[in-house]
Amino acid sequence: MASHNVNMPSSSALASSHRLPTVSASQALGTLHAKGSRTVRTGLSQLDKHLAPHGLPGRTATGGYMRGKVTEIFGPPGVGKTAFGIQAAVSALREGHKVVWLDAACAPLVPQRFNDVLLAANKPVLQASSAPPKVPSTSSMSPDEMQSQFHHYAPPTLAHLLALFVRPPSSFPPPNTSLIVIDSLSTLFDNAYPRNADDRASKNRSDQARWAAGRKFAVMNELISTLTRVAAMHDIALLVTSQTITRMRAGSRALLVPAISGAEWESGISTRLVLFRDWVPGQGKWSRTDSTRLQKTRFAGVLKVNGVLLAEEGGVGNVVPFAVEEAGLRDMDIAAVDIAAPVVSSEARPKRRFAEIDDEGREELDSDELYDWLEDDEVAAEGLLINEAPTTAGMGSATSGATPLAASTHDTESTATNLAEKHDSVVRPPTL
């Protein structure tokens, strides 16, 4: 696939050609087997395991960001999105591949910080009890050579980025690129299409104004389809970081949601991770792990992996703890259990008992604008949505329609709250 050097004509014919080059199935399978790893390692072995695809018969696939697909990482400010991008880039460079970094972040990449991670990966790692063995470099490149394989661009506007992907110059992406990082895409998008509640008001009388107001979602859809196309055609893992905005739920409990959202956007993203912080107990509780290091623990939630949705809005899916250090990301040797989404199998799903609804009634506002619930129901009915979190539209409501969905959300949240209180009282740490 990557051996096809698809010449991108600069004429407008490109914009309409969404076809991938076709190969026979046996040829494709053969290429697949012949290729090296089809992922870019994340740098956290626990996370790699969560992202590993189903192995092909006779092959074990290592996990990581899937090449040919788009992965999105979102989270609040300062949580570590850029750190994940850096780690992925270092993994790719160490495999001998090229990396393209598109820097649109509010905090432009600090070269020294990147070099720290790149050079640390080369040094032999002292095997602390909980440190995972660093993957040895498969290429014999020197740090200097790896640095020159790292291509950094700073697109100031969304238009620049689109010009790069929709009408690419002949040298983009460079051959042997395995990873493109866009950090952060939401900044670019928000600058071009700032959130404005006004355009929902029907003040737009003229046809042009109405058309212009609708451009935001049209461009978003075009953006994701372009990104998925470029990723697929060049067999590149495309890693996108995104900031968060708030969405109000009833009861004035604001939720942090990804800044870019939309039905088509979500379906174009193959893997989605959320990074977040949480309380970590104080000393005295842990035998093996070092408590100072523990305090720095952050969490990565796998919300969607290789097209499979694991958690709905507000949920955090499968959680992997990590820490950000000067040498890069570091695994934490503990299991993080997310009690907000107790795992329920479809057969053992408890009957919804309305009497158990919490007085707090943390109802979620109708999220029709963000998610097409009905669409999800149809998909779920085909068994394609694997329901880890009961808050998903999923099984029960597929047949019973939209209203019980709201009730089930209450119920599972109340169960979650009850669980939470019990455990919260156990884990509240002594004052520091």
Partner 1 sequence: MTDLLQVLPDFDTSLYAHLLPSLDKALISTTDLIILEPSDVAKRAQVPAGELRKLVDAVVGALHWHLGFGAEEARSSTFLSASNHASAENGGPSTISTLDEKLDEALLGGIRPGYLVEVTGESGAGKTQLLLTLLLASQLPAPHGLAKSAVYISTEAPLATNRLTQLLSAHPLLSSLSPKEKPSLSRILSIQTPDLETQEHILRYQLPVAIKKHNVGLVVVDSVAANYRAEFEKAGVKQGAASLAKRGTQLVQLGALLRDLARTEGIAVVVANQVADRFSKPPNVVVPNPPSRTNSQNALGNDCQHTPQPPSQKEDELILSPDPLALDHQQCWFTGWGDIRSDPLHTLKTPSLGIIWTNQIACRIALSKRPVFASRPPIVKVNGEDHWNEDDTHISKWRRWFKVVFAPWAPPSEGRGVEYEVAKSGMRHVAKDK
Site string for partner 1, 259-278 (x = CB under 8 A): x--------------x-xxx
Look at strands 237-242 and 70-74 and give their pairing: parallel
Q: Which of 24, 198, 202, 351 binds partner 1 (CB under 8 A)?
A: 198
Asked if residue 42 binds partner 1 (CB under 8 A), the reply is: no
C-alpha–C-alpha distance, residues 243 and 75, integer Å: 6
The first and second tokens of residue 241, run together, are: 């970081």
Q: How far is the CB of 3 from partner 1 (least distance, A)?
A: 23
State yes or no: cis peptide before 168, omega within 30 of 0. Answer: no
Q: Which of 279, 378, 384, 402 binds partner 1 (CB under 8 A)?
A: 279
CB 259 within 8 A of CB 186: yes
Kindly tell me the sign of the dihedral angle through the C-alpha atoms of 200, 201, 206, 209: negative
Q: Which of 65, 172, 265, 322 binds partner 1 (CB under 8 A)?
A: 172
C-alpha–C-alpha distance, residues 195 and 153, integer Å: 26
Q: Which of 167, 357, 363, 370 binds partner 1 (CB under 8 A)?
A: 167
Radius of gyration from C-alpha coordinates of the chain: 23
Q: How many binding residues for partner 1 (CB under 8 A)?
A: 137
C-alpha–C-alpha distance, residues 431 and 310, integer Å: 35
At 333 the three-state DSSP class reads coil
Q: How far is the CB of 112 from partner 1 (least distance, A)?
A: 6
Asked if residue 141 binds partner 1 (CB under 8 A), the reply is: no
Residue numbers 63-82 binding partner 1 by CB under 8 A: 76-79, 82
Q: How far is the CB of 387 from partner 1 (least distance, A)?
A: 9
Window contacting partner 1 (CB under 8 A); options: 17-25, 31-39, 149-157, 395-403: 149-157
Q: How many CB atoms neighbour CB 88 within 10 A?
A: 25
Q: How far is the CB of 395 from partner 1 (least distance, A)?
A: 13
C-alpha–C-alpha distance, residues 53 and 286, integer Å: 33
The first and second tokens of residue 69, run together, are: 């697909």
Q: How far is the CB of 219 from partner 1 (least distance, A)?
A: 6
The first and second tokens of residue 20, run together, are: 């991938």
Q: How far is the CB of 116 from partner 1 (least distance, A)?
A: 11
Residue numbers 379-418 binding partner 1 by CB under 8 A: 386, 388, 415-418
Please say which residue, 288 or 403, places its beta carbon nearer to partner 1: 288
CB contact set of 271 (below 8 Å; sequence gap of 6+): 51, 65, 66, 69, 70, 71, 72, 302, 304, 305, 306
Q: Which amino acid is at 66?
A: M
Q: Which of 42, 244, 261, 270 binds partner 1 (CB under 8 A)?
A: 244
Window contacting partner 1 (CB under 8 A); options: 131-139, 211-219, 262-270, 373-381: 211-219
Q: Which of 155, 232, 363, 370 binds partner 1 (CB under 8 A)?
A: 155
Q: Which of 96, 132, 262, 281 binds partner 1 (CB under 8 A)?
A: 281
Asked if residue 314 binds partner 1 (CB under 8 A), the reply is: yes
Look at strands 150-153 and 65-66 and give their pairing: unpaired
Please say which residue, 151 or 352, places its beta carbon nearer to partner 1: 151
CB 88 within 8 A of CB 42: yes
Which residues, in sequence order, are bridge partners of residue 182? 102, 240
At 124 the three-state DSSP class reads coil
Q: Which amino acid is at 160?
A: H
Residue numbers 315-374 binding partner 1 by CB under 8 A: 315-316, 318-319, 321, 324, 326, 333-340, 342-345, 348, 350, 358, 360, 362
Window contacting partner 1 (CB under 8 A); options: 31-39, 189-197, 262-270, 404-412: 189-197
Q: How far is the CB of 383 from partner 1 (least distance, A)?
A: 10
At 77 the three-state DSSP class reads coil
Q: Which of 40, 88, 180, 305 binds partner 1 (CB under 8 A)?
A: 305
Site string for partner 1, 94-133 (x = CB under 8 A): -------x---xxxxxxxxxxx--x---------------
Phi, psi of 324 (to 5 degrees): -105, 120
Residue numbers 43-62 binding partner 1 by CB under 8 A: 49-50, 52, 54
